[in-house]
Structure 1
Amino acid sequence: MRNLNEQTVTRAVLDLIADTPNHRLKYVFTSLITHLHGFARDVKLTEEELQAGISFLTATGQKCNDKRQEFILLSDVLGLSMLTVAMNNKKPEGCTESTVFGPFHVEGAPEYENGADIANGAAGEPCMVRGTVRDLDGNPIAGAQLEVWQADATGNYDVQYPDLDTHRGRGLLRSKQDGSFEFRTVVAVAYPIPVDGPVGDLLRATGRHPWRPAHLHFMIKAKNYQTLVTHVFRNGDQYLDSDAVFGVRQTLVADWIRQPDGGYTLTYDFVLNPVG
C-alpha cells in the first residue's frame, strides 16, 4: 500500500475490510467509504474543510448528555431520521403513519391511570386528549401501552429544565378493554429546536429556521403489533409545511377544539400494524 494517490486510496481501504466477518457491516462500510471518498472528490474537499467537519462532529458529541442528544437532532435537521423512518416503516393503507423519534424521549416516565393529568404542573392551557387504539379491521386493542411526551407552553420539555426533578407533560398509560384511552395535559404549541449547539450553528449558516409545528409525541406498544412511534400535529400551525425536522404527515394532523370552559379537546384514533 505504498505510494497511494487520490485514485488508488479508496480501493486500498476497501481491500482492508474485504474479510469483515459480519456481512451486513461489510456491506454498509463498503458503501459508506465509497460514497464518502466520492463526496470528497466531488467537492474537492480541502484539509481546512475536513478539520472544520471533524471539529463540528466533535462539538456535536460534546453537546450530548443523558437529557440531550445532539446527534439525533443533527440527523433530524438533515432529513436522515425521516428518510430512515420512511424506509423502515412501510405499512398497509389505514395504519397510522410513523414519524421521527426526536431527541427528548427519556426512560422512566411515570405511569398513570386513564383520565389522569400527565401535565403534572406543566405550563399551558388545559387539554383533554382522547382516542382509541385499534387494528386494521377496527377491532379494539386492549392493554396497549401508550407513552406520551410533549413540550409545555414555553416550548420546553421537562428535561430542558436543569433544576426540575419531576416529569411533566410525560407519562405512560394503557388502553382500556374497548381500546379507548384518555388523559389530561396542556395544549401543544410550536417551538424551536435547541439552537445553542452545533445544530443551531448549522441552521444559521444555511439560513434555516429552527421551528417545529405543535405536536404530541406517542410511542404505542402492543403484543403482536409493530411498535408505533409518531406525533399528532395541531391543525392550522404555521410550521406544518416547514417543519425543521421534516416529520409532518397529513394523516397525523388533527384539530384541537376549544371548549366553552376555555379548555381544549383532542381526539385521535391510532391503527397498529400487526407483526409479520
Structure 2
Amino acid sequence: MTATPPAGSDQQRRIEDELVRTVLASFRDTPDPRLKEVMEALVRNLHAFIREVRLTETEWEHAIAFLTAAGHLTTDRRQEFVLLSDVLGASMQTVNVNQEATADATEATVLGPFFVDGSPEIPLGGDMASDAPGEPCWVEGIVTDTDGNPVPGARLEVWEADEDGLYDVQYDDDRLAGRAHLFTDDQGGYTFWGLTPTPYPIPHDGPVGVLLDRTGRSPMRASHLHFKAIAPGLRTLVTHIFVDGDELLPSDAVFGVKQSLVKRFERQPAGTPAPDGRALAGRSWSRVRFDIVLPKASAAEGDDPVAVRA
C-alpha cells in the first residue's frame, strides 16, 4: 500500500485538487440550476473544511455516528437536527440571509424546535397558557404594515415554555398548553394571556447536549415568548420577544436575541386589577406590549395559505 504524500507537498495538493474537480464535475448535468449551484458550493466548502483541519478518518467516523444518533433521536415531537442547526448558529444565519432588514419591520429570529401545527384558536383576550404552570402575563399590541396601516385579521401563532422550562410537546401525556393562535381585530390589535417567560435549557440529553458539554457551552435559552405572524400580501414573520434584564440575553444558546426584540415585562404585584377584569386570586402577574410591523411579501414569497381564517 502506497503511503499518502505529506499534506504540504505539491503531489498531495494535486491529488486533493483533482478529487474536488472530479466531484464538482459529477454535478455538471444537474438540470435544476439552483440545485447545481447549491451542491457545487457545498462540495467546495466541505472539501475546504476537511483539508483545512486535516480531518482524520476517526473524526469523520465520529461525525457520522453523531449524525446517526441525531437521526435516531428525532421524532415528530423532538427535532435534534433543528437543535444542531440552532446551536451552530446556522438557523439564525439563515434567518438573517432571508429576512433582510426592511424599513422599520419587526426583526425575525429562529423558529426553534417546538413549533407544531394545529394549535387551538383563542378569542382576543383569551388564555393561551391553558393549565400550564407559571405567572400570568397580559400581552397586547397592534399589527401594522411598514406604511403604518393596521392589519386586521392577521393570524398570530403564539407558543412558549412553562415555568418548569418545558413545552407541552415535551411531556408524555399529550397535553395541549402554552400554545394557541388568534386573529387581530379590525384595527389590527390583539390581546391575550400567556405566561411570564422564564429561562430554560434546550434538550441536552442527546448528541447536541454532548457537543455543548464538550465545548464548554451552556444549553440555556434566554426567557422568551414565540410569535408567528401571518397576513395576506405581507411577509410571514417568525420571531420572539425577550425579557429585558435577563442575564442570559448575551449568551442565548441558539444566538436568537436581537436588541429590538428585548421588551419590558412590567411586573404587577398581587392585587393589581387585570386589564380585562380577570380574577387572579391574589397572584402577581406581568404585562408586555409588542407591536408587530410586517413588510410586503415579495413576488417569490406570495401569500401564506395559513393566513386564511378557517
Please indicate, yes or no, whether the TM-score normalized by the shorter chain is above 0.5. yes
Q: Secondary structure at the match of 1:266?
A: strand
**Residue 68 of structure 1 corresponds to which residue in structure 2?**
78
Q: Secondary structure at the match of 1:141?
A: coil
Q: Of the candidates 172, 177, 180, which is equivalent to residue 168 of structure 1?
A: 177
The structure number with the bigger radius of gyration is 2
Q: Of the candidates 237, 251, 269, which is equivalent to residue 246 of structure 2?
A: 237
TM-superposed CA distance for 1:5, in Å, is 3.8
What amino acid maps onto 2:136 in structure 1? P
TM-score normalised by length of structure 1: 0.96
Alignment of 1:1-276 (within 5 A): 5-163=15-173, 165-260=174-269, 261=271, 262-276=284-298
What CA deviation, in whole Å up to 9, does each residue of 1:178-220 have, x standing for no partner?
A: 1110111211101111101111000001100111111000000
What CA deviation, in whole Å up to 9, does each residue of 1:98-137 have, x standing for no partner?
A: 0001000001111111111111100001111111101122
Give, in whole Å, the separation in 1 of the partners of 2:19 and 2:146.
Answer: 52
Q: Which segments of 5 or more consecutive residues in structure 2 lack a partner in the other structure?
A: 1-13, 272-283, 299-310
What amino acid maps onto 1:102 in structure 2? G
Alignment size in residue pairs: 272
What CA deviation, in whole Å up to 9, does each residue of 1:11-36 have, x standing for no partner?
A: 11111111111111111111111111
What CA deviation, in whole Å up to 9, does each residue of 1:150-172 have, x standing for no partner?
A: 00000100000012x23111000
Give, in whole Å, the separation in 2 of the partners of 1:91 and 1:48.
Answer: 43
What amino acid maps onto 2:71 in structure 1? G
| Cα contact 1:254–1:268 (8 A) shared by 2 | yes
Q: What is the root-mean-square deviation in Å for CA atoms of aligned residues?
A: 1.1
Give, in whole Å, the separation in 1 of the partners of 2:260 and 2:49.
Answer: 36
Give, in whole Å, the separation in 2 of the partners of 1:217 and 1:63.
Answer: 24
What CA deviation, in whole Å up to 9, does each residue of 1:210-236 have, x standing for no partner?
A: 111110000000011000000010111
What amino acid maps onto 1:268 in structure 2? F
TM-superposed CA distance for 1:63, in Å, is 1.1
Give, in whole Å, the separation in 1 of the partners of 2:264 and 2:250.
Answer: 16
Q: Secondary structure at the match of 2:157?
A: strand
TM-superposed CA distance for 1:173, in Å, is 0.1
Q: Secondary structure at the match of 2:127?
A: coil
| Cα contact 1:91–1:273 (8 A) shared by 2 | no
Give, in whole Å, the separation in 1 of the partners of 2:26 and 2:150.
Answer: 54
Q: Identity, % of aligned pairs?
A: 51
**Residue 6 of structure 2 corresponds to which residue in structure 1?**
none
